[in-house]
Amino acid sequence: KQVCHIEHFLVRAEGMIHNHIFAALLSYVQLQKMCASEIINNCYELKRDLFNSVITGFIQRTMPEIKNLDPIFIPVVNA
């Protein structure tokens, strides 16, 4: 339920609610099949790996453009 977001829907029509519940249950079954066939270790691994790759891609695209975030180390001079 937590991974498939069965409780998060913004529709009011009965048919759309049924479609959402069906899709959430179908995704839950698919995740369980992936766990059983050892494609993933647990249901949260897929979501975590997706999040990590998105963040990594964002940093790699954005970092060259932002010069202020690159640390510039100046040697200390004792006067």
How confident is the model over 28-66, as pLDDT tens digits? 888 888 888 888 888 777 777 778 888 888 888 877 666
pLDDT higher than 80, residue 70: no
What pLDDT does residue 1 have? 54
**Helix/strand/coil (H, E, C) string of 4-56?**
CCCCCCCCCCHHHHHHHHHHHHHHHHHHHHHHHCCCCCCHHHHHHHHHHHHHH
Q: Describe the crossing of helices 14-36 and 43-62 by its angle, rounded to 10 degrees.
A: 100
Global confidence as pTM:
0.52
- In 3D, which of 69, 18, 79 has the Cα closest to residue 6? 18
Half-sphere exposure of 76 (CA within 13 A, CB side): 1
Helix or strand (DSSP H, E) at 10? none
Written as six digits, the tokens of 46 are 């897929």
| pLDDT (0 to 100) of residue 71 | 67
